[in-house]
A and B are shown apart, each in its own frame.
Chain A
Amino acid sequence: MTALLDALRDQFPVLDQTVHGKRLVYLDNAATVQRPLPVLHAMDTFYRESNANVHRGVHLLSQRATDQFEAARVTISRFINARFSHEIIFTKGCTEAINLVAHSWGGANLRPGDEVLLSHGEHHANIVPWQLIAERTGAVIRPIPLHDSGELDLEALRAMLSDRVKLVGVKHVCNALGTIHPIEEIVRMAKSVGALVLVDGAQSLANVDVDVQALGVDFYSMSGHKAYGPMGVGALYGREELLNAMPPYQGGGDMIRTVSFEKTTFNDLPNKFEPGTPNVAGVIGLAAALDWVAGLDSASIKAHKQSLLDHATEELNRIEGVKIIGTAAQKAPVVSFVTDFAHPHDLGTIFDQHGVAIRAGHHCCMPLMKRFGVPGTARASFAVYNTNQDIIVLIEALRAAREIFA
């Protein structure tokens, strides 16, 4: 494992630096992970050798760019086992993917009194778009309660289901607490009343295996920058028949078949939902990232991340006055905690001086923080390149904070 890890870390030049005179210990991976060399290389090569607009030139470079762009779509559709590559719509991130569903599907299908059930732990990205659309359509949003462990209360969900429920939205992996939610079971329950299921998969591609057909989801939103890919790119998976029936979300070039001032006809999938010039280099970078992830030895990576999570959990539990929030049985490598001696924000500053980058705050999950009665947490989240030594430095920094405050 050590040799493998060293080789892995070499792929991430950004990790090789000091901050405030200390070795950088990057534990803010749930906010964004770093990119390995093959991703940087793929994007650089695109700009050096193939840069041209897609879907519109008759010249060679445009053809090359279009081929690479569409090949990336195939890569992503295979990665999550979609039936068709045109079920993948490129967006600027997970947030835009959810907005697309809320505005296009929700705007066309929600009626007054219809219900959208969202887990109490959702990211603001999977709450606010629904609130905007609920205001317009008269639909009602209801939060699905969580257990104290951070797990979804499935019994409560069962009791909330009725034929008024049109959509259930839940994240696959919780960015704030690490909880991995049982998507298959949630889908089964939702289907029993004919509701659709949207899964916020922002944290998924780097952390769990995703098979959209096996999961049975209707929509799955993804983020590139949390999956070793670039920022500013993400994707929506939607079942073909749903996407076909949905009205366009934004208008512009490329998404049309014919335009006249009297009547415009729209293009087929996926172009119908991709107006304007897309982030071509970003999409190519994302495909390179997924190829890179797919090339890792998945069993040993899983074991490594589990051991980081176990190690961090054990060490944190040993420090008096530290409480871990989120104790689900199934977790991604994320530990969120509060202390009785320092506010998360102060911990963040002290950790930074030790070279340790963590996130302190509400993690864009204010209702979740309220549910647990905390203003925010300190969160350490791990990626493939993190080591046990990183956790030792984290714990030293926490002890130093305790020294200052206690």
Chain B
Amino acid sequence: MNLNELYQEVILDHGRKPRNFRLLPMATHTAEGHNPLCGDQIHLMLSVRNGTIEEATFDGCGCAISTASASLMTEAIKGQKVEDAEVLFRQFQEAIVANGDTEPLGVLECLIGVKEYPTRVKCATLAWHALRAALESEEKSATISTETGEVIPHA
């Protein structure tokens, strides 16, 4: 694995010009994802109606990997049923830790290369953990940390 495989054009592009990078005033679900080790922060906003994720946006600041991952994720889940997004979360999570073959993930495959860089896996999964936290939390907003992975609902 060399650096060009980690920093593929898709990742560089989404890192530089993240899609869906804006506030979502109509959000029904939000989550704050923190990586306390490097200070990366992602604020994920979803608008869910009748079981469908109609809008998904984010802001915050992070490295190329975490920004690209959030950008690609919001594109992938927009218009999806909540259950399908949850399945995608699990497939992504499996792919990034697995050694063998896993479900094909389409454009998201470009992120799987980070598994060769153990210190960076958390960058790629930050937005995804925020997604799960946002969907699972009973509250409107939730916070997750890469160091606990636990959902802490806001009071």
Selected contact of B120 from candidates A349, A361, A375, A376, CB within 8 Å = A349
1/0 contact string of B1-43 vs chain A (CB within 8 Å):
0111011000010001000000000000000000001111100
Indicate if the CB atoms of A369 and B39 lie closer than 8 Å.
Answer: yes
Chain B residues closer than 8 Å to A345, beta-carbon distance: 38, 40, 62-63, 65, 120, 123
B3 pairs with A361, CB closer than 8 A: no
CA gap between A346 and B61 in the complex, in Å = 13
Question: Using an 8 Å CB-CB cutoff, how does the interface string of A374-405 with B read, 1 for contact, 0 for none?
Answer: 01100000000000000000000000100011
- Rounded to whole angstroms, the CA-CA distance of A336 and B96 in the bound complex is 32
Scoring B2, B62, B64, B123 by chain A CB atoms within 10 A of each residue's CB, the highest score goes to: B64
**A360: interface (CB < 8 Å):** yes
Interface positions of B from 36 to 74, Cβ below 8 Å from A: 37-41, 61-65, 67
Known contacts A349-B119, A353-B3; decide if A405 and B39 are in contact (CB<8 Å): no
Encode B104-120 as 1/0 by CB contact (under 8 A) with A.
Answer: 00000000000001011
- In the complex, how many angstroms separate the beta carbon of A397 from the nearest chain B beta carbon? 11
| A366 neighbours in B (Cβ, 8 Å) | 39
Given the complex of chains A and B, what is the CA–CA distance between A342 and B12 in angstroms?
Answer: 10
Q: In the assembled complex, which residues on chain A have CB atoms less than 8 Å from the CB atom of B7?
A: 346, 404-405
In the complex, A350 has a CB within 8 A of chain B: yes
Instruction: Write out the residue numbers on chain B whose beta carbons fall within 8 Å of the beta carbon of A343.
Output: 62-64, 67
A343-B62, A346-B63, A349-B117 known; A376 vs B38 contact (CB < 8 Å) = yes
In the assembled complex, A362 has its CB within 8 A of some CB on chain B: yes
Q: With a CB–CB cut-off of 8 A, which chain B residues contact A361?
A: 37-39
- Do the beta carbons of A346 and B39 come within 8 Å of each other? no
A346 lies within 8 A of B65 (CB): yes
List B contacts of A400 (CB < 8 A).
3
CB of B43, distance to nearest CB on chain A (Å): 14
Is A404 a contact partner of B39 (Cβ separation < 8 A)?
no
Chain A residue nearest to B2 in the complex (CB): A353
Which residue of B is nearest A354, CB measured? B3
Minimum Cβ distance to chain A for residue B47 (Å): 27
Contact B61 A350 (CB under 8 A): no
- B76 CB, min distance to chain A CBs, angstroms: 22
Q: How far is the CA of A388 from the CA of B63 in the complex (A)?
A: 29
Per the bound structure, the CA–CA distance linking A109 and B40 in Å amounts to 38
Kindly list chain B residues whose C-beta atoms are within 8 Å of the C-beta of A369.
Answer: 39
Query: Contact: A375 with B64, CB < 8 Å?
Result: no
Do B39 and A376 touch (CB < 8 A)? yes
Q: Which residues of A contact B38 (CB under 8 A)?
A: 344-345, 360-362, 376
Contact A375 B117 (CB under 8 A): no
Residues on A with beta carbons closer than 8 Å to the beta carbon of B6: 349
Min C-beta distance of A356 to chain B, whole Å: 13
**B22 CB, nearest partner CB in chain A, Å:** 19
How distant is the Cα of A400 from the Cα of B6 in the complex, in angstroms? Answer: 14
Best-surrounded residue of B2, B4, B38, B123 (most CB of chain A within 10 A): B38
Contact of A350 among B3, B16, B39, B62 (CB under 8 A): B3
A345 to B121, CA, bound (A): 12
A353 and B7 CA atoms in complex are apart in Å by: 13
Q: How far is the CB of B13 from chain A (nearest CB, A)?
A: 11
Contacts of B41 in A (CB 8 A): 375
Cβ-neighbour of B12 out of A360, A362, A376, A404 (below 8 A):
A404
**A331-349 contact mask (Cβ, 8 Å, vs B): 1 or 0:** 0000000000011111001
Q: Closest approach, in angstroms, between the C-beta of A173 and any C-beta of chain B?
A: 22
- Rounded to whole angstroms, the CA-CA distance of A400 and B7 in the bound complex is 12
Q: Cα distance A27–B6 when bound, in Å? A: 23
In whole Å, how far is B111's beta carbon from the nearest beta carbon of chain A?
Answer: 14
Residue ID in chain A nearest B119 by CB atoms: A349
State A353–B63 Cα separation when bound (angstroms).
17
A345 to B64, CA, bound (A): 8
CA distance A349 to B7 in the complex (A): 11
Q: Nearest 7 CB-CB pairs, A to B?
A: A345-B63, A343-B63, A362-B39, A361-B38, A346-B64, A376-B39, A375-B61
A residues whose Cβ falls under 8 Å from a Cβ of B: 342-346, 349-350, 353, 360-362, 366, 369, 375-376, 400, 404-405
With contacts A343-B64, A361-B38, A369-B39 known, what are 12 further pairs, Cβ within 8 A?
Answer: A345-B38, A345-B40, A345-B120, A345-B123, A346-B64, A349-B3, A350-B3, A360-B38, A361-B39, A362-B38, A405-B7, A405-B12
Can you list 9 A-B contacts (CB < 8 A)?
A: A345-B120, A346-B7, A346-B65, A349-B119, A349-B120, A361-B38, A362-B39, A376-B39, A404-B12
